[in-house]
Structure 1
């Protein structure tokens, strides 16, 4: 059995750990509020952009746009959006797990796969595959639209240059504070946005665009790609703080359980020490008789 001093030292150490995890939980909760507000305020903009793209692409000739070119898929590029920091449970691991599953699927079909990692954790977990073409690290803590524009420009150049025939984004989708799930969406070629099946019918008509639909689409498509990347980064930003808040709360609860168990061990050890001392005293008294 461990000595009283050793058990007491362990209890003090676990209590200090609990203080750290509780503080990290509070910091994550404060950051989550800002990240969630930012994400939710951007969602209406994304929805309106999708509506505009849906209306334009519905009547446009998709063959006239290089970014909408459908071709035989031989090379696939996966954009993996994760966090820069850890201590957020299995959030990043679940995204990487989906990435590995997609890599196996595409390679079994005879396609080559390359990766673009946005976030340090994705790079650390996937660099051993040898498929990482480019990494954007240390940007998820304070990213802006120009970061999304840089990533989208690189992906577009790769697609137009024939280095990739299909590009998909894998990221963490924020559903609630307690639930963040890996999600995947198509990036290139740009797909005509379809209306939701259960969406209420909208009043529509035949619109005349000035300049032409093709000219408008040429301008909107790059902006649309920027929006898609930025939206994925916002989702991951909110997911990271929510996952870390949950993980730190679980860690604090685990520390309390460990302290309770160590306290029982400490009390048993102390009682055993007291009993031994009493036995020594009684034995010495009996010996003097």
Structure 2
């Protein structure tokens, strides 16, 4: 059985870890609130852009533009959002394994975001064409714009025939789920008469609209992934904190029992000496 000194040292060590856990929980909570406000701001913008894209899907003239070209799929590009840091429960494993499952049967190329994803796809010997690692929160907006430009360039140069986003969609603090959506080529539907005209031309309109639409769609995916990561980290810290508390309580009971045994032994020795 451990001595009283050893048990006290273990309790002290666990209390130190509990302080670290509490600090990480507070940081994750702050970032969660900040990411939530960011997501609330981007959703209306992205939805309005999506509405514009849906309206264009029935315009017959759009079919001549490369953004809408549905060609034979030889290469599929997957943009996978993961984290740069751990201690976030099953967040990384869920989205990365989900992406890996979606790639089955495809000649895939991977555009990976986050160091965890980079190591994961390297280990699984996937074709990583580009990666973004260590992007600060303050640069996510501009980083999304650069990623959108890179994806559009790869698609227009026929280095890939379809582009998918794979990220974790945030529902609430307790629930988030991996999601995949295709962003290129854009969807077309049965042509319908459209009132009005495009000024100065449909070509100019699309050249401005499509990059901005991709930018905002990637920015939203970034925001969804980031808030999901922080929520998962908060839950992981809650669980770790509860486990540490239970362990301290167990050690405290052991310490009390050890003290009782030591006192009993000392009394027995005193009584034995007097006899």
Q: TM-score, normalised on structure 2? A: 0.92
**Alignment of 1:245 onto 2:234:** yes
Deviation per CA, 1:171-220, whole angstroms, max 9, x where unpaired? Answer: 111111221211111121122499xxxxxxxxx97233222334312321
Q: How does 1:71-220 map to 2 (within 5 A)?
A: 71-103=71-103, 105-106=104-105, 111-131=106-126, 132-192=128-188, 206-220=195-209
Structure 1 runs (4+) greater than 4 angstroms displaced: none
Of residues 85-94 and 55-64 in structure 1, the stretch that sits farther from structure 2 once superposed is 55-64
**What RMSD over aligned residues (CA atoms) do the two structures have, in Å?**
2.0
Give the Cα separation in 2 of the matches to 1:144 and 1:161.
25
**Alignment of 1:38 onto 2:38:** yes
Gaps of 5+ in 1: 195-203
Give the Cα separation in 2 of the matches to 1:193 and 1:155.
23
CA positional deviation for 1:130: 2.4
CA positional deviation for 1:159: 1.9
Give the Cα separation in 1 of the matches to 2:189 and 2:38.
24
Give the Cα separation in 1 of the matches to 2:274 and 2:23.
54
Taking structure 1 as reference, are residues 205 and 155 closer, same or farther at Cα in structure 2, changes over 3 Å only? closer
Q: TM-score, normalised on structure 1? A: 0.87
Judge conservation of contact 1:56–1:213 (CA < 8 Å) in 2.
no
Question: Number of residues paired by the alignment?
Answer: 272
CA positional deviation for 1:101: 1.0
Give the Cα separation in 2 of the matches to 1:183 and 1:193.
23
Give the Cα separation in 1 of the matches to 2:57 and 2:148.
20
Deviation per CA, 1:207-238, whole angstroms, max 9, x where unpaired? Answer: 33222334312321122111111111111121
Gaps of 5+ in 2: none
Taking structure 1 as reference, are residues 187 and 90 closer, same or farther at Cα in structure 2, changes over 3 Å only? same
Give the Cα separation in 2 of the matches to 1:192 and 1:88.
39
Give the Cα separation in 2 of the matches to 1:90 and 1:228.
25
Judge conservation of contact 2:56–2:62 (CA < 8 Å) in 1.
no
Give the Cα separation in 2 of the matches to 1:249 and 1:207.
56
